[in-house]
Every structure is written in C-alpha cells, then in structure tokens.
Structure 1
Amino acid sequence: MNEKTLLADETDELQRLGRLVGKWEVSGGATGTTSFEWMEGGFFLIQRGDLLHDGHVVRMTEIIGREHPFGEKPGTEIKSRVYDTNGNTLDYVYELEGDVLTIWGGYKGSPGYFRGEFSADGDRLTGDWVYPGGGYHATMVRS
C-alpha cells in the first residue's frame, strides 16, 4: 500500500468534514465569525472563531481529527479539543451522516450536543445546541 492510499484510507471520514472549510458568519445564540482550514498533511481540521455568546467574547481555536497517541493505532472517532482565550478546554466528538452534523459534548450520546443540517448547496448549516438546562438555535452561512 502506498502513502497516498494509506492517507486516503485513514482520513476518509474526516475528509467528509472538509465541507466546513472556509469562512462562516454565525448567528443565533452565538454571533460572529468562524473559519475552518486543513492543517498540512490533511489529518487535522483547524477551526478559529471569534464569537459573542451570552454577552461574553469567545475567541477560540479547535483542532479536529483522530487521536493518535505515540506507538498506537489512530482512533476511530473524530474528536476535537477547543482552546479559548478564557483558559477553557472543551472536548467534542464529530459525527457526519449525510447532510446532518452532530457535535457531541465530550462523548457520543452526551446530553450536550449540536445537531444541524447542511443546505443542498452546502453554504448554510442550521441547527440547535442542546444541553441540560438550556440550548439555542444556530446558523452558519458561508461568507
């Protein structure tokens, strides 16, 4: 198996999240901008956001991909960690089935999650953040 085949096999599920690549305007319970880009090599997607949520400025960077600890095989789930300028770290699991994106808070099946659907042209993602005691509607439009 050559390197290109190995790369494609290992990143297929992650590559489908490539539809997020670009700049987005965010509205709903959080407002602002966010962008996604591939890290060189294609094994990680990087999100950078500048948002206003509940009166708080949230500037963040998120690294999305498979965990691959030294000496071990890559994990099967697409996981992420968010780092923000307030010192918070948040973990998520991404799941994309067709046009429906679910972002689980911490682990699959968590009571905290986002579930949204891409428009037919892929330039709009509309859904809801749900968590115990709250939640909000959210829309991202490619800019």
Structure 2
Amino acid sequence: MAERHPALARLDALLGRWTVQPKVDGLGVGWTDFSWIENGMFLRQFADAEPLPADAPRAWRENNPLPVTSLIGLDEAGEEFSVLYADARGVHRVYRMTFADGVWRMWREAAGFHQRFTGTLSPDGDTIDARWERSEDGADWQLDFEVTYRR
C-alpha cells in the first residue's frame, strides 16, 4: 500500500466512539463512531441515539435525522475532504471539509440552504465543541445549534 497522505493521518484524532450532546432543550445524548474503511482510504462516521422522548420539540421529532452515515474521502489536490452524508429521513448531501490544527470545518452551498460546521478539538483530544450554522443566501448566517462531542 502507498504511503498514507498526511491529511488523512490528521483524521486519526476523530477515531473512536464519542458521546454527542446537542445543546437543544429536550434532546438527550447520542453517539457517533469514526472508523477507517478500505485500508484507511475513507473515514466512516456513523451516528445514532436512543429514540427521541415524547416531549422533545416537535420539529426535532418530525425531522429526526438519526441514524446518520457519512463517508469522508480526500481530494489530494488541495488536501480538502469530501463528505457524503445520508440520514434516516432520506436526505443525501455532499459537504466539503477540512481538519487541521484542531479545527474541523464542513460546509455546503446549496440554493436556499447553505450550511457550515465548525468544531474545535480540545488540547487533550477528548472534547470537540462545535456549532452548525445555516443561511438562505450564504451571506447572512444564523446559529442552527451547538453540539459537544466527548470521548
């Protein structure tokens, strides 16, 4: 096998199982697991949680995306990743992604629904504090929700 690209090696910081706590009233803790597939050529992310409680916000119950599967691959031309995302609602999206110096970024530009994610890895590597933002036009952004990942 060819020598591993350094950008792929940086993703080792994500490996393993994390608890995921969205900072949204009524939502409990979920989990996500990152693992290498195809001899380390792709990183697979799988996320799930216990069923949402009956008192969870209606919008969350109706739009619950879990479980979620993402495949992360590298475009070596610019050390940028592509993320293929699919969830239980039947949603399929492609995000662009970077992961460097402890900062994890994902984004997509889609007509009427732009998204971006920024997560910061703690110095000990055991916590990621993150936020999802959305925009209709790609210029005016608003917080969608914050989330914390913990090992």
Q: TM-score, normalised by structure 1?
A: 0.77
Structure 1 runs (4+) greater than 6 angstroms displaced: none
Post-superposition shift, 1:86?
2.0
The share of aligned pairs that are identical, in percent, is 28
What CA deviation, in whole Å up to 9, does each residue of 1:90-122 have, x standing for no partner?
Answer: 111111230111111259xx9521111111110
- 114-123 vs 97-106, which deviates more? 97-106
Q: Which runs of 5+ in 2 are unaligned?
A: 53-58, 136-141
Of residues 43, 46, 49, the one that matches 1:48 is 46
Pick from 73, 81, 85: which aligns with 2:84? 81
The equivalent residue for 2:55 is none
Length, aligned pairs only:
128
Match of residue 16 from structure 1: 10
Amino acid at match of 1:54: W
3-state DSSP of counterpart to 1:14: helix
2:70 aligns with 62
One-letter code of the match for 1:129? W
CA RMSD, Structure 1 to Structure 2 (Å): 2.4
Once the two structures are overlaid, the 10-residue window that deviates more, 132-141 or 33-42, is: 132-141
- d(CA) in 1 for partners of 2:127, 2:71: 22
Question: What SS is found at the alignment partner of 1:113?
Answer: strand
Aligned equivalents of 2:82, 2:147: Cα separation in 1: 21
For residues 134 and 126 of structure 1, the distance between their equivalents in structure 2, rounded to whole angstroms, comes to 14
State the shift of 1:14 in Å: 2.0
On the 8 A contact 1:38/1:46 being kept in 2, the answer is yes
1:101–1:41: structure 2 CA closer, same or farther, 3 Å change rule? same
Gapped regions of structure 1 (runs ≥ 5): 68-73
Output aligned runs, 1:51-130, within 5 Å: 51=49, 54-55=60-61, 56-66=64-74, 76=78, 77-106=80-109, 111-130=114-133
Give distance in 2, aligned partners of 1:111 and 1:90: 11
SS in structure 1 at match of 2:89: coil
User: Are the equivalent residues in 2 in contact too, given 1:91–1:106 (CA < 8 A)?
Assistant: no
Instruction: Measure how far apart 1:134 and its partner are.
Output: 4.3
From 108, 124, 148, the counterpart of 1:139: 148
